Amino acid sequence: MAAITAFSPRTVPTVLKHRAVHKLGLLALAAAVLVPLANARWAGGAWPDALTVDLTKPLTNASTWIVDNRDTHPLFLYFFGHVSNAIVLCVRAVYLVLLAAGWAGVTALSALVAWRVAGLRLALGTVAAFLTCGWLGMWVPTMQTLALMAVAVAASVVVGALLGLAGGLSDRLNRALRPVLDTMQVLPAYAYLLPVVLVFGMGVPAAVLATVVYAAPPMARLTALGLRGADKEVLEAVRSLGATARQGLLTARIPLARKELLLGLNQTIMMALSMAVIASVIGAGGLGDRVYQALASVDVGAALAAGIPIVLLAVVLDRVTGAAGNGSPSAEPRRTGWLYALVAALAIAVAGRLMGRLDWPDAWTVRIAEPVNRAVDWMTDHLYSGVPVVGGTADWAAHFTTWVLNPLRDGLTWLPWWSVLLVVAALAWLIGTWQTALTAVLAMAAIGVLGVWTPALDTLSQVLAAVAVTLVIGFATGIAAARSDRLERALRPVLDVFQTMPQFVYLIPVVALFGVGRAPAVAAAVVYALPAVVRITTQGLRQVDAAAMESSDSLGATSWQQLRQVQLPLARPALLLAVNQGVVLVLAVVIIGGLVGGGALGYDVVFGLAQGDLATGLVAGAAIVCLGLMLDRVTQPTERRTKKGA
Amino acid sequence: MRVRTTAAVASLVLLTGCGAADMTKQASPFANAQGSKTVTLSVQSWVGAQANVAVAQYLLEHELGYRVDTVQVDEVPAWDALSQGRVDAILEDWGHPEQEQRYVDDKKTITRGGELGVTGHIGWYVPTYFAKQHPDVTNWKNLDKYADLMRTAESGGKGQLMDGSPSYVTNDKALVANLDLDYQVVFAGSEAAQITQIRQFAKEKKPFLTYWYAPQWLFKKVPMTEVKLPAYKEGCDADPAKVACAYPHTPLEKYLNSDFARSGGKAAAFLKKFRWTTEDQNEVALMIADQKLTPEQAAKKWVEGHESTWRTWLS
């Protein structure tokens, strides 16, 4: 998501200050009138009961109706059933092809594709990645995941491209689509697993559809962006040559948007892969399921063995599609190259088949589970408690809970509900327009109306704490990486791993270090959100105008002065974006937090899914979406919004 | 262009079969690949359930020549998956009256598969090292005395009663309220988190109070003693809000998809006969969870040592 946004520097602080005072004054005036009224009617701090709507009954009825009619109602027999069957057929077809190609064939074919679009180095990397999947004993699950991914990505690309086409060609559709895409992205995946499962049942179809919901938005956004961004002069020229609108679209606008389209594909693949594990909760099978099963027997090593292939797939797919988007090294003289390579790959596949070596040989697997588990045990044994001077991780977690999380939660729940709304309004208005402020306030109010005010504030307190920790560590690391190329290079693979490693893998170590509760939930969120923050910070600082840096150098500024007075102010838009991304990503892990004792909304969503309780799960999921919308508006500067275009 | 789309749609319709789609026959796309017969078993998230599945899978593969797919699903969704044929069998069910009524009695898409031979029991437990020092902690009436010792950063000044996965049957919030105890229920959120925390507590010999269940392999690693709650009587847990009694002892049961039960051949017959003891299950569970054998290795070990037991399931 990070790559989609563009930013411009902010200026005129004095005018802004005037406006800020103005806005706050207006808000204070509104508050002076409304608050006494509200207080007179509904006294007390928490959200008034009179203003809530209980959705339990309608939602429970809806879910019962679906279960009772699923096998007989025409809607299911003639529509959802076919959708489901089509997905099963497609996934199965891809899976059978992959199995028929055998491990040698699959490896050779992917290496070939990587070589042609991205060069020799990535081809070798691809081979290494696939062989590692085999060595880890994960060949079959890897193929299952690949089959699922291929279908999900294809469907996401089609859906996303169609939406993007609509948005790119019509301004009105573009405006209408934006909130829909926003919601699709903030919606925690877990929350819509449940309704999808109700309709389609457990398993692959539900998993593919849930993945499409999650992975289509970046494709849609980038397609629209690419179509809108096409060079006006070129379009003019095409039109003057007498091309019809459709010809213009096909011959000029779409080819010109190639870069955005490929970036969209890249983002879609990454998002889809990150769903691979979450989808395992609803029986998608493959690598995700292996991670999930390993979690059940508290076996970090086995979870890691299934997690590594996911990371490798992600890195390989990211680099290869990324290279394709940037214009490949072997872009020109290709036809014959493709042909030779294709023949070679086919030969390898056939050779593998003839030798009867379709399945990965069992003898060629390494068991990494045991040493990994020993390492994790050692770590948790020695760090959990009783480390001299600094205390153990369990003590830190307890202190963090007592001194940071508890006061924050108690403070937020102590605040009268209208004052929370006022604070949200003030923050959102200061950083954006009255529209963003209104959205934020309405989102917050919706949480109250849904009747989950208190747990939502609990979740909010955890999110705020996690964002604060993420920003402190992320900015520090980002600044260091911006000043040292060596560090940046060294960090890159680490950040890749953090970003793509399924969260289920580090749940157990996190609990083993920090105990059960909100502290490990915060820790998991920090691990997940940190890479994006570090990356955006580093990039933002590096993009600071070289001339400004040089002139401050020539004025004799020390390194610290330069950082504080030149780099950080100039990189302000990037830093704000980092804050925004930090918030969004932390929120995405709230539910994972529910699995380690984070409680509140995250737990409710997990509970809803585990008990098939649509009322609890969906309401909590909706509340998380509202929290996400509110936080996004409060941290998202207006300039970015107007520039975004998609 | 248009011709091609029409052709694609037409072939899709042909492929999926014209007319109605059967929502009760929704096998996994990974099943029956490469020409072998596949049985799909649902695994629940606790290791006991993994042990059942591991042994069943081993015997199905090595004695009966099936391919076995396993899918990890939570309990309630597993019923749903079973009714749709996405999985063929649940080998360990802890009692879901609502689902039994709906799927077994009304829709008849699920068939009872008989008892597993293991009796399950949920309760509140303290570590045995602590119970030995303070024998009176094993009665709920004295729990308040020890609330201070059970306090954690999460429990907000009260004692902590740790609950586990959201998918498990629990009345603990109601119990704490109705028995008027000075405790706070803290949900670990997953069994993995709960086990990890229990082991960390045990390493330091710290006192704790937890929701737990038997049979469970963890008892071998961290001996725990049950706390006596007011005795269970039939129907005392009928109203979830008013529960003030212990949990029942539940004979665990197996359930099969009805179609599979009818036409599943040897596999279905075998799964119906599958019946073993708590000790057997614990033996396998411990190998998986503690000695970190893969479920397959653990099953192999058990199968090699207990031929007389499993021979009868195959006949």
Domain boundaries, chain B: 24-119+250-313, 121-249
Q: Is A608 exposed, middle or buried (0-12, 13-18, 19+ CB in 10 A)?
A: buried
Compare CB distances from B187 to A88, A92, A603 and report the shortest one's residue.
A603
Q: How confident is the model at residue A587 (pLDDT cuts 50, 70, 90)?
A: confident
Beta carbons of A164 and A217 less than 8 angstroms apart:
no
Residues of B in contact with A147 (CB under 8 A): 29
According to the model, what pLDDT value does residue B24 have?
Answer: 53
Residue A610: which of B28, B102, B166 has the nearest Cβ?
B166
Quickly state the pLDDT bin for A84 (edges 50, 70, 90): confident
Q: What is the CATH number of domain B121-249?
A: 3.40.190.100
How far apart are the C-alpha atoms of A381 and A319, rounded to whole Å? 38
Question: Which residue of B lies nearest to A394 if distances are taken between CA atoms?
Answer: B200
Query: Is residue A191's pLDDT more than 50?
Result: yes
Q: What is the DSSP string of B231-284?
A: PP-TTTTSSTTT--SPPPEEEEEEEEEHHHHHH-HHHHHHHHH----HHHHHHH
Residue B254: what pLDDT? 93
Instruction: Pick the residue of B2, B13, B23 with the most A CBs within 10 A to test the interface with A by mutation.
Output: B23
Nearest CA in chain A to B194: A516
**B77 contacts A610? CB cut-off 8 A:** yes
Supply the pTM of this predicted model. Answer: 0.83
Average pLDDT of span A275-291? 81
Check if B14 contacts A (Cβ < 8 Å).
Answer: no
Residue B32 touches chain A, beta carbons under 8 Å:
no
- Chain B residues whose CB is inside 8 A of the A202 CB are 71, 73, 77-78, 80-81, 84, 86-87
Q: What is the structure's pLDDT at B7?
A: 52
Q: For residue range A214-235, what is the model confidence (pLDDT) as tens digits?
A: 888 888 888 888 887 766 777 7
Residue B302 pLDDT grade (very low, low, confident, very high; cuts 50, 70, 90)? very high
Angle, alpha carbons A355-A358-A362 (nearest 5°): 100
Q: What are the tens digits of pLDDT across the range A42-66? A: 666 677 777 788 888 888 888 888 8
Query: What is the mean predicted confidence (pLDDT) over B128-133?
Result: 92
Averaged pLDDT for residues A156-175: 87
Please give the pLDDT value at position A126.
92
The partner residue sitting opposite B77, judged by closest CB among A96, A197, A511, is A197
Query: B3 Cβ partners below 8 Å, 6+ apart?
Result: none
**Which pLDDT band, with edges at 50, 70 and 90, does A10 fall under?**
very low
Residue B200 to chain A, least CA–CA distance (Å): 7
- Return d(Cα A189, Cα A590) in angstroms, integer: 11
Residue A593 CA to residue A586 CA, distance in Å, equals 10
Rounded mean pLDDT, A476-496: 89
Shortest CA distance from A385: residue in chain B: B204
Q: Which of A434, B226, A461 is nearest to A442 (CA)?
A: A434
**Residue A350 vs residue A523, higher pLDDT:** A523
Contacts of B194 in chain A (CB under 8 A): 516
B172 touches chain A (CB under 8 A): no
Q: For B2-35, write each residue's pLDDT tens digit.
A: 445 455 555 555 454 456 666 555 566 776 665 5
> Strand pairing of B110-127 and B249-257?
antiparallel
Q: Is B189's CB within 8 Å of A369's CB?
A: no
Predicted local confidence at residue B274, as pLDDT: 92
Tens-place pLDDT, residues A508-540: 888 888 888 888 899 999 998 899 899 888 888
With an 8 Å Cβ cutoff, are A85 and B21 in contact? yes
Please name which of A500, A268, A514, A502 lies closest in space to residue A396, comparing C-alpha atoms.
Answer: A514
Nearest Cβ partner for A517 among B26, B153, B288: B153
Comparison of pLDDT for B255 and B292, the residue scoring more: B255
**How far is the C-alpha of B169 from the C-alpha of A228, rounded, in Å?**
54
Q: What is the average per-residue pLDDT within A256-271?
A: 83
Cα dist from B151 to A387, A414, A462, B147, B219, whole Å: 22, 23, 21, 6, 23
> Does B211 contact chain A (CB < 8 Å)?
no
Interface contact flag, A77 B152, Cβ < 8 Å = no
For the packed helices A139-169 and A171-186, what is the interaxial angle rounded to 10 degrees? Answer: 150
Average pLDDT over residues A436-450: 89
Average pLDDT over residues A491-503: 85
Highest mean pLDDT among A109-123, A331-345, B6-20, B171-185: B171-185
Average pLDDT, chain B: 85
Does residue B290 belong to the interface with chain A, where contact is any CB pair within 8 Å? no
List of chain B residues whose C-beta atoms are within 8 Å of the C-beta of residue A603: 166, 187, 189
ipTM confidence: 0.83
Backbone dihedral region for residue A511 (phi beyond 0: left; psi -120 to 50: alpha; all else: beta): alpha
**What is the average pLDDT across A347-370?**
75
Average pLDDT over residues A188-205: 80
* Lowest-pLDDT choice from A253-257, A608-612, B181-185, B283-287: A253-257
Q: What is the pLDDT of residue B3?
A: 47
Mean pLDDT across chain A:
81
Of B162, B192, B197, the CB nearest to A296: B192
CATH number 3.30.2230.10 given to B24-119+250-313: no
A15 pLDDT higher than 60:
no
Would you say residue A639 has pLDDT above 80?
A: no
In the structure encoding, which two tokens stand for residue A422, read together? 């006022």
B82 touches chain A (CB under 8 A): no
Q: Cβ–Cβ contacts within 10 Å for residue A250, how many?
A: 12
Residues of chain A above pLDDT 70, percent: 92
**Which amino acid, residue B132?**
K
- Rounded Cα gap, residues B160 and B271, in angstroms: 41
pLDDT at A645: 36
The nearest alpha carbon in chain A to B13 belongs to A82
Instruction: Point out the residue among A82, A401, A612 whose CB comes nearest to the CB of B80.
Output: A612
